Homo-oligomer: A and B are copies of this chain.
Amino acid sequence: MVGPRFSFTLHATDGKARTGTIAMQRGAIRTPAFMPVGTAATVKAMKPESVRATGADIILGNTYHLMLRPGAERVARLGGLHKFMNWPRPILTDSGGYQVMSLSDLRKLTEQGVEFRSHLDGSKHMLTPERSMEIQRLLGSDIVMAFDECPRADRAKDEIAASMELSMRWAQRSRAGFDAGDDHAARAALFGIQQGALHEDLRRISADALTDIGFDGYAVGGLAVGEGQEAMFGVLDYAPDMLPADRPRYLMGVGKPDDLVGAVERGIDMFDCVLPTRSGRNGQAFTWNGPLNLRNARHAEDTGPMDERCACPVCTTYSRAYIHHLVKSGEILGAMLVTEHNLSFYQALMQGMRDAIAGGVFSRFTKDFRSSYLRT
């Protein structure tokens, strides 16, 4: 592999919105970027070449799921995650911290890390900053996330503060663990994760701690955990500004199309979310005119496409009537087609934002988007 380990070039800004390119050894990532989620080494119901054809530059893999099945050491023996799943471009892996708290059983949280039982077979595991770095190295991740604790936003402030302080100590240990993996550290990047929930003073402390340690990019963590869009935007009004302007800012686990637009407006560069893929399997499409439930009987004889403005292979080929039939019949092809459209729509939305920022017309773009998508 040739080229830089990691560089971030800003091409244009419009208000707080930014567009740029992250260059890495496995390929370039155009920002603002949306990363489809490939939880268990597959973006569900999609072949990887179809994921790429939607316009995705990078996908996300889940450390928690992959460490349990097929196992990080096994993936390493099989040549790494890219080869295993046939995705040669960049992969960002999360640290496992979020999912171990939301999915596993019998957790025990200590300064050292988290002990838990697998939701698959009850087997006992331990995740620490050092083990998370090791797993992400074994997977061959391109962008490694620091190991953190992500508390519920509605916990008392002193608990949020203590959790954030723990995450900052773990960020330091993640940095050291990542740097110890010589070969991998020479070609991968490490991102830190800001915590502090809805508290501006804690977000500031967290941002300063992370900046002192130094990372290739910075995530805004602890949002999209049930606080609602207004509260999330309230944090995003200040939190990205606390992070270094010359580094990518990644809003984890977000979100709906209007979440993405509002977050880019506030200076976010990267996103991941299961929504387009999960909704695709449930017969819910995203369109420029808002969400569309394909189960609805009104589509039964509609010969139009899911989205009139969409140029994806699904919308140029299949009618709402056909997709309604597939979804009603529980056919796998229904999940395949709505997922492919949804990922295409998300990527078209990102491309639209990148173009609008580059052209200095982002406020016009957001106004047009909202009048169409939100009918406002």
Contact = CB atoms under 8 A, between A and B. Distances in A.
A292 B47 CA distance: 22
Given A47-B333, A328-B69, A321 B78 contact: yes
B322 A85 contact: yes
A45 interface: yes
Contact of A333 (B42, B281, B326, B331): B42
Interface in A59-88: 69-70, 74, 77-79, 84-86
A79 B40 CA distance: 40
A325 interface: yes
A44 B281 CA distance: 15
Interface string A296-338: 0000110100000000000001110110011011011101100
A40 B324 CA distance: 12
**SS class, residues of chain A in contact with chain B:** loop
Contact of A300 (B40, B74, B321): B74
Contacts of A85: 322
Given A69-B325, A70-B300, A74-B300, 17 more contacts: A40-B325, A40-B326, A41-B322, A42-B326, A42-B331, A44-B333, A46-B333, A47-B333, A69-B328, A69-B329, A70-B321, A74-B301, A74-B321, A78-B301, A78-B303, A78-B319, A84-B321
14 contacts: A41-B325, A42-B333, A44-B331, A44-B333, A45-B332, A45-B336, A70-B300, A78-B303, A79-B303, A84-B319, A84-B321, A84-B325, A281-B332, A332-B335
